[in-house]
Amino acid sequence: MPLLGKPDPNQAKAQEIADRIVTVLQDAAEIDGRYATALRKLNTNGTLDQTDWADVARDMKDVRAAAGKHFSEDKIPKGKSPKENAEWWARLSQAEQDEHVALHPASIGALDGLPATVRDQANRLVLTQDQTDIEQRLRYIEAHEPKQYERRTRGQWRVRDEWKEWKKEKERVAGIKTGIEALQDRFVNTTTKGLPESFLLSFDTNGRGHAVVANGNPDLAQHTAVYVPGTGSRLEKIEDGLGRSDKLWRTSTALAPDQTISTISWYGYDAPQRVKQDASHSSYADDAAPTVNQFFSGLHASHAPDVNQHVTAVAHSYGTTVVGSAARQGNLEADDVVFAGSPGVQVGRASEMDVPKGHVWNEHAREGDDDVGDWGKYVHGHREGLDFVIPNDAKFGAQQMDTDTEGHSGYWDYTEGKNGQPGKPSLSIENQGRVIVEQYGRVKLK
């Protein structure tokens, strides 16, 4: 009991604790309301439209702001294998899983090994919120353009370094905005394009941005193909990869209409952007390789155990170097590998690609029509004395598929339709489709 006239020394401390409890309870009430509303929308089994996603993302952002001081991301695995990630997720209750998606969507969406439906849900939240942030960022940049020129001696002028940096950042942010809009258009118009449901397996706006998009659920697919692009690929140009992935899905599905197929556009690495200055360096491929192996391993960890699984890596140009580096550095968990327009893959034999004998396939446009391998081999080919071996060479040991397309980027061409009829797949892409659905005996070789 305090002495008469003397304040209780513990009273202030007790009041502080009481105030904290009141704050927590108030936050909890706010969290519960927003959280319940958002979860009701999230649990509608994929019927959300773009407006719904915006509402959910806004609610979840408010929930995270209120809950951030009470909940942490410490329990989410970091640096674990996809198998360990999958096991961790399976141990959580439904309520715990919902909380992680709601409070930490970026971390959950990035975890290889988690179900495609979960990653899609988490990454759609991130995408929708980041779209707003990117649009605001671009408006701010455009409104704060610095002075472009400065006077030098003798009346000469030069472009200021500050303006150059401003322009570079403006182009980067504008490019990300373009990529996000392409993704949103894909999600809105998937059905009208005659494609299966889309799944956003990865997304971020770091650097030039990254995204991984699947046509169809790879967890339930009997055949999955992963398209790995080459030089110049970035979020801004993901529409190119989506188009090729779409054609792979249409071609493969037409060849095996009774099979379930998923095709994936893997824009998950920092690709070289300039041919002469950047693509001659192997560092881009070497840095990306562990991420490639992690992703392919994740496809196996999240796949339904009662469905047979066959996975094909389809790589183009510098993307073939990325896939080759992945096999060289670790274990590429693919059943087949298809190379197109390869400048070299860092290994000298198909037997080093981690797939069964006879399951490395190569496409090279007709003689003189794709010269990437002619100069690329001296950088990315496997050196043997004075020689440099790439997948185009007989000694490499790949199955050389016949092609009927032109140029370095024509391997996914369709013929142009006439009289309102759809175009037909070229032999180049049809051969890829036959590998994807394991119709090896129908592949036309050179």
DSSP 359-413: -EEEE--STTS--HHHHHHHHHSEEETTEEE-TTSGGG--EEE-----STT-TT-
Put simply, whether the predicted model's pTM sits higher than 0.75 gets the answer yes
Tens digit of each residue's pLDDT (9 = 90 or more) over 161-189: 999 999 999 999 999 999 999 999 999 98
Tens digit of each residue's pLDDT (9 = 90 or more) over 316-368: 999 999 999 999 999 999 999 999 999 999 999 999 999 999 999 999 997 66
Residue 16 has pLDDT above 80, yes or no: no
Q: Which of 177, 237, 186, 181 is nearest to 213 (CA)?
A: 186
Residue 295 has pLDDT above 50, yes or no: yes
Tens digit of each residue's pLDDT (9 = 90 or more) over 381-434: 999 999 999 999 999 999 999 999 999 999 999 987 776 667 899 999 999 999
Report how far residue 264's alpha carbon sits from residue 226's, in angstroms, rounded to the nearest whole number.
5
Question: Which of 133-137, 151-155, 306-310 shows the lowest mean pLDDT across its residues?
Answer: 151-155
Report how far residue 381's alpha carbon sits from residue 359's, in angstroms, rounded to the nearest whole number.
20
What are the chain's domains? 22-121 (no CATH), 206-442 (3.40.50.1820)
Please give the pLDDT value at position 55.
Answer: 60
**Residue 276 DSSP SS3:** coil
CB atoms within 10 A of CB 280: 16
Q: Which residues contact 332 (CB under 8 A, 6 or more apart)?
A: 292, 293, 296, 313, 323, 326, 353, 354, 355
Report how far residue 347's alpha carbon sits from residue 237's, in angstroms, rounded to the nearest whole number.
29
Q: Give me the residues paired with residue 314 across strands.
A: 227, 338
